[in-house]
Amino acid sequence: GLKTVRLDHQQLEVELTSASTALALFELALERASCGRGDLELLDEGVEYAGTLKGTEALKTCTFGCVYCPTEVDADGEQMNPKSYLTHESGVIRAVRNGYNTADQVYDRLGSLQSMGHDTSKVFVRIVGGTWSVLTSNAQQTFVRDTLFALNTMDAHPDSRRQPRSLEEEQAINETASCRAVEICVEDHPKMVTPASLLENRRLGITAMEIGVQTTNDEIHRITKRDSSRAQIVERTKLMKEFGFK
């Protein structure tokens, strides 16, 4: 879902909520993010999901149970939106309006900005909602690919837009597109940050990472079930910097 946009030194920040509402509507992650139930359902690595990452199984994009992240459920107890994102928020409203379709969220938000006279030639993409490294490689690649695809076809008429190409092709096209992704940021849990995951993020074109440091007090980490520690935060932050991430 597109959550927020802000102007920062003439750079637009576009926040994409990577998660879901209902199976019929969309199970994205960039599917049905269910942060912290201990069980994890993954999409088939061999299946090419569309921009929405639709599938027959709900995709839970976080396995951690941090107590401060709200989980909104419906009358049947099923999770409705990404962990920590609520129905009344503007970003979630926009995501639901677009069926959590990755490309459509980009078209919607940038279209609104353009109609207000904003320059959208430089876009800071922030993918949020869940834990990035919990997603399968296929899910990560498809989400990033479709984000770039939308930026690359922003100026095309909706009825004449081409089909998405490969990640590498969309990356190359975006280098000279009218709407360029000058930064792509994802959210991850400190425990999930590894040399292997960072190498994959570099391949995807990700340039910045967030690991949600709410505190450096390990007693508070224990109480809030963060499943992390001060030492781990320091170690993983250093690792991310060594790999060139902001």
**Residues 166-215: tens digit of each pLDDT:** 999 999 999 999 999 999 999 998 988 999 999 999 999 999 999 988 88
Q: What's the pLDDT score for residue 205?
A: 97
| Of the listed ranges 60-64, 68-72, 232-236, 238-242, the one predicted with least confidence | 60-64
Quote the percentage of the chain above a pLDDT of 70: 74
pLDDT in tens, 119-133: 999 999 998 767 888
Indicate if the pLDDT at residue 13 is higher than 90: no
Residue 54 has pLDDT above 50, yes or no: no
Residue-by-residue DSSP string for the chain: -EEEEEEETTEEEEEEE---S-TTT--BTTB---TTSS------TT----TT---SSPPP------TTS---B-TTS-B-SSTT--TTSHHHHHHHHTTT-HHHHHHHHHHHHHHTT---SEEEEEEESS-GGGS-HHHHHHHHHHHHHHHHTTTS-GGG------HHHHHHHHTTSSSEEEEEEEE--GGG--HHHHHHHHHHT--EEE-----S-HHHHHHTT----HHHHHHHHHHHHHTT--
pTM attached to this predicted model:
0.73
Question: Under a CB-based contact definition with an 8 Å cutoff, are residues 59 and 29 in contact?
Answer: yes
Mean pLDDT is highest, among 6-10, 68-72, 201-205, for 201-205
Tokens of 22: 């209902």
The whole-chain average pLDDT of the chain stands at: 76
**158 in Cβ contact with 194 (< 8 Å):** no
- Give the separation between CA 128 and CA 141, rounded to whole angstroms: 15
224 sits in the region (left: phi over 0; alpha: psi -120 to 50; else beta) called alpha
pLDDT of 244 above 70: yes
Write the pLDDT tens digit of every residue in 83-105: 777 888 887 888 888 888 999 99
pLDDT at residue 231, rounded to an integer? 93
pLDDT over 50 (residue 46): no
Higher pLDDT, 102 or 25: 102
Confidence of residue 25 (pLDDT cuts 50, 70, 90): very low
